[in-house]
Amino acid sequence: MRKQSDLPHSLDAGDAVSYYPIDTHATVREFEAAGIETKQAEAIVKAMTWSRNDLVTKTDLSGFATKEDLAGFATKADLERFATKEDLAGFVTKADLERFATNEDLEELKTRLDALSAKMERFATKAYLEKFATKEDFERCATKEDLAVVRAEMAAMKSDLEKQISSAVIKMMICMISMSALIVGLMKYL
């Protein structure tokens, strides 16, 4: 708010026009005719022109938008139809999508696989490898564990065979001794 000291000191026509378009001289004369002293009348007119100078005029408002100008803009009610940040919180962001392969990435991978396939043609084919032993073929063969069992069985058989051979040798020796005795006994008679 303006102070009394900010008001103009004289009421000539040039000052009055700059504040408000009224005839200040005529207004002061009307106050004097009503019985107000000249100094008081001049102060009242100064206050009137000063306070009216702060009012907004049609010219001041001409640069602002009208209701018609704003009719094409969205209102709060219009915006309620749109999603809020909370509504979108569960959706995927661009940052989330950066972890996934793009079409370009897949094309590059396909190109690399094609190149690798071309290089692999130099190696053995499935038909060529079928000539060799398969996993099933190897499953029919003995494992280390199987060989250990066979070795143990062979050791037991060897021990058993040695016993049988030893027994057979003893029996043969007994037979030989018996035959020798028989031959010696027969030779006495010859």
Mean pLDDT of 29-35: 93
Query: What HEC string does 134-190 produce?
Result: CHHHHHHCCCHHHHHHHHHHHHHHHHHHHHHHHHHHHHHHHHHHHHHHHHHHHHHHC
What pLDDT does 143 receive? 76
Q: Is residue 94 included in any domain, yes or no?
A: no
Assess if residue 14 is contained within a domain.
yes
pTM score > 0.75 for this model?
Answer: no
Within a domain: 30: yes
Using alpha carbons, list the distances in angstroms from residue 94 to 89, 91, 104.
13, 10, 17
178: which 2 tokens? 């018996």
Tokens found for residue 10: 């004289």
C-alpha torsion 126→129→133→134, nearest 10? -20
- For residue 51, is it within any domain? yes
Residue 72 within a domain: no
What's the number of domains the chain is made of? Answer: 1
73: closest CA among 65, 61, 82?
65
In a domain, 156, yes or no: no
- Segment 2-27 mean pLDDT: 54
Q: Which domain range does residue 24 map to? A: 4-56
**What pLDDT was estimated at residue 126?**
67
pLDDT reading at 167 higher than 70: yes
Confidence of residue 29 (pLDDT cuts 50, 70, 90): very high
Residue 41 lies in a domain: yes
Residue 92 in domain: no
Q: What is the pLDDT of residue 1?
A: 39
